[in-house]
Structure 1
Amino acid sequence: MAFDPTTRDFPPPHVPVREDWLAQTHEPVLDPTLPIIDPHHHLWHRPAERYLAEELLADLGDGHDVRATVFVQCRSYYREDGPAPMRPVGETEFVQRVAEAADPAGPRIAAGIVCMADLMLGDAVRPVLEAHLAAAPTRLRGVRNMTTSHPSIVSSFGRIPAQRLLDPAFRTGFAHLAPLGLSYDVWAYHTQLDEVADLARAFPQTQIIVNHLGGPLGIGPFASRRAEVFEAWRPAIRALAAVPNLSMKLGGGGMHLLGLDFHHGAAPPSSEALALAFRPYVETCIEAFGAERCMFESNFPVDKGMFGYRILWNAFKRLAAGASEVERSALFSGTAARIYRLEPIAA
């Protein structure tokens, strides 16, 4: 069963996608032969939006050389009955079916899967993790829980209790990841990055991937305070980079939470405009973590409300224009392949 955001008193999960608006901006594909792994996208069918294999493939086929993708949980197609902790396994079962049905000559859709398993179950999460692994034995790579929390901001996932990453029950569940060969994708706001670092230090054998540039907020009490937020976010990113089992996803700039407003324009932004807006954040992350621990991500269809797939990857290529060939390879595919244990792709 697909998650229906209209049944909850939460803000919209993202800016609505307007295909006619997106079609107004045209650009040639930059560096069209550069191999790409997109390590962060979703699949869903919600009342106001469909983004399934057909829509994903249309974006992947828009000129860039995307060889493989990683699906990240988004509360879609849960089982409709059975024990509540096991219901998210339905999402993994669904994505596995989508991946198996994909054309073998095309991009490897969901070559990696990041699932939802409630780590607050503590030790009781073990059979849930094992069920996910049974559903996608060659694709399951990790887990993500919603842990974004701020007293003044409610996300589309509802209000998350504060300091969940520090909760003993959560950490008891978290301890089961590494023994099963699973990584953890963490989505946290910039105000929580000290908790992310603490978690990573406590579990040095678990690979942790920080989502969406570490969540520099630009709404609620942080609206119109971009410079101030950046000055708080930057040292927190540098502190994260000192923890070796952390890596960073470079993307998520199209979420309303981060405060950019490209969707208010008469036409979508160009890749030059996107690169200009993203540059301080992307360059800070790459300088701190190094290209070998950073990966560009689309976060589609969430970010699609502000810009198209071709434009986004053109912007990323502009941002990496000064990087070496080795660094570019890492940013666009190598880091994702290593972190998510995907088959290497030929240049």
Structure 2
Amino acid sequence: MPFGGNDWLALTQEETLEPDIPIIDPHHHFWDKRSERIPYQRYLLHELADDLNAGHDVRSTVFIEARAMYRAGGPVEMRSVGEVEFVQGQGAASATGLYGPARAAAAIIGHANLNLGAEVEGVLDALHEASPYHFRGIRHSVTWDPHPEVDNTAAHNMPGQLASDKFREGAKVLASKGLTLEGWLYFPQLPELADFAKAVPDLTIILNHIGGLLRVGPYANGGEELMDTWRKGIAAVAACPNVVCKLGGIGMPRTGFDWHTRTTPIGSEELASDMAPIINYCIEQFGPSRCMFESNFPVDKVSYSHHVLYNAFKRLSADYSETERADMFHDTAARIYHIG
């Protein structure tokens, strides 16, 4: 990756558009991945605060599991509790106000292996004990693709998890506790998610990153045929009333844009124009009350700054009503994640 980093992002500076719009950022991570070659190896409260304090009125955030800070020992299925314990501490530090007005990790999404079936209940109880007031649900990624060129990075790397009896049994336990499931998968799997959502109608599912659009590797030259497949998948999932959609994650290089390769980072006007056809289709299908703008930081930080991204969201949503914009910037996340 030729560019990236805060010095690179600083090459594009903008005034804050509509600074009084309240924002909940419903999707970011914390991690300290010192052994991995990624552009942002360390992203903890200090780094998040630097991004949040750039001018937008970010009131609070939602932490999404990142397989970081797991316990080093003990039962394998319980090691993910360490991540929630750690993030609870980051949120407590943020609540002091020393890092700015935003309350980081006002809601926490951890991880539990739904393939455990009914036995996942013990893990969910331990996650709740680790953060009694902020734990809201889990993410169990099911990203899988048969092409060897596509990174299958899910912790439980296998096809067809959403259709398995054990996974659905675990999902019903999740639903019975009033917890949510983050749906992270690739776009060819969207019909699987629609079937799963119908099978567990009491479970609130949050579709991550506009449904996992892929336009690299074997999908690089898919063109309109590929986009039509994605659109049909989004429509199928949107037909399930228990699913809401996160509008973001488009800065990941796998989405097919070149933003991360530029000498000068993209500005919000061009970014809004590029994202609009994808994001507006999701809003059209789900409706604003089932959509929320997300940063997906620091993953998307390889392509643009947090400040530029939210300027772009404000530009592309300008024609929606005040109530619709309030939903997408703040209120949907407040409802889904029970953020007061």
- TM-score normalized with structure 2 length: 0.94
Q: Which amino acid aligns with 1:127?
A: G
Pairing 1:57–2:49 present:
yes
Gaps of 5+ in 1: 1-13
Pairing 1:87–2:82 present:
no
User: How do 1:11-160 residues align onto structure 2 when only pairs under 5 Å count?
Assistant: 17-47=4-34, 48=37, 49-105=41-97, 106-152=101-147, 153-157=150-154, 160=157
* Partner residue in 2 for 1:308: 305
Determine which of 205, 208, 211 is the counterpart of 1:211. 208
Tell me, yes or no, if the aligned pair for 1:15 and 1:255 is still in contact at 8 Å: no
Q: Which amino acid aligns with 2:140?
A: N
CA–CA distance in structure 2, aligned partners of residues 267 and 212 of structure 1: 24
Q: Which amino acid aligns with 1:132?
A: L
Query: Per the alignment, do residues 245 and 128 of structure 1 end up closer, same or farther by CA in structure 2, a change over 3 Å counting?
Result: same
Gaps of 5+ in 2: none
Identity %: 47
Pairing 1:230–2:227 present:
yes
CA–CA distance in structure 1, aligned partners of residues 235 and 128 of structure 2: 34
Moved over 6 A (4+): none
CA–CA distance in structure 2, aligned partners of residues 320 and 207 of structure 1: 25
Query: Per the alignment, do residues 118 and 158 of structure 1 end up closer, same or farther by CA in structure 2, a change over 3 Å counting?
Result: closer
Q: Which amino acid aligns with 1:22?
A: L
CA–CA distance in structure 2, aligned partners of residues 245 and 103 of structure 1: 31
CA–CA distance in structure 2, aligned partners of residues 144 and 156 of structure 1: 13
Measure how far apart 1:104 and its partner are.
3.6
Q: In terms of mean alpha carbon deviation, does 252-261 or 290-299 score higher?
A: 252-261
Q: Which amino acid aligns with 2:252?
A: M
Measure how far apart 1:81 and its partner are.
0.7
Aligned to 2:173, the other structure's residue is in SS state: coil
Measure how far apart 1:219 and its partner are.
1.3
CA–CA distance in structure 2, aligned partners of residues 299 and 227 of structure 1: 26
Tell me the number of residue pairs that the alignment of Structure 1 and Structure 2 aligns.
330
Measure how far apart 1:218 and its partner are.
0.8
CA–CA distance in structure 1, aligned partners of residues 74 and 240 of structure 2: 39
CA–CA distance in structure 2, aligned partners of residues 26 and 115 of structure 1: 34
CA–CA distance in structure 2, aligned partners of residues 171 and 294 of structure 1: 25
Aligned to 1:177, the other structure's residue is in SS state: helix
Q: Which amino acid aligns with 2:59?
A: R
Measure how far apart 1:154 and its partner are.
1.9
Measure how far apart 1:224 and its partner are.
2.8
Measure how far apart 1:16 and its partner are.
7.5
Query: Per the alignment, do residues 274 and 203 of structure 1 end up closer, same or farther by CA in structure 2, a change over 3 Å counting?
Result: same
Tell me, yes or no, if the aligned pair for 2:3 and 2:263 is still in contact at 8 Å: no
Pairing 1:283–2:275 present:
no
* Partner residue in 2 for 1:187: 184
Tell me, yes or no, if the aligned pair for 1:15 and 1:256 is still in contact at 8 Å: no
* Partner residue in 1 for 2:246: 249
Q: Which amino acid aligns with 1:317?
A: K
Determine which of 302, 320, 334 is the counterpart of 2:331. 334
Q: Which amino acid aligns with 1:71?
A: F
CA RMSD in angstroms, aligned pairs only:
1.5
CA–CA distance in structure 1, aligned partners of residues 84 and 315 of structure 2: 35
Superposed CA offset, 1:220-265 (max 9, x none): 2101324322111112211211110010000001112212111111
Measure how far apart 1:103 and its partner are.
4.0
- TM-score normalized with structure 1 length: 0.92
Tell me, yes or no, if the aligned pair for 1:15 and 1:305 is still in contact at 8 Å: no
Measure how far apart 1:17 and its partner are.
4.0
Query: Per the alignment, do residues 159 and 224 of structure 1 end up closer, same or farther by CA in structure 2, a change over 3 Å counting?
Result: farther
Q: Which amino acid aligns with 1:40?
A: H
Q: In terms of mean alpha carbon deviation, does 254-263 or 318-327 score higher?
A: 254-263
CA–CA distance in structure 2, aligned partners of residues 211 and 136 of structure 1: 23
Query: Per the alignment, do residues 194 and 119 of structure 1 end up closer, same or farther by CA in structure 2, a change over 3 Å counting?
Result: same
Superposed CA offset, 1:155-204 (max 9, x none): 34478211111111111111111111101001011100011111110111
CA–CA distance in structure 2, aligned partners of residues 266 and 32 of structure 1: 28
Determine which of 315, 318, 327 is the counterpart of 2:315. 318
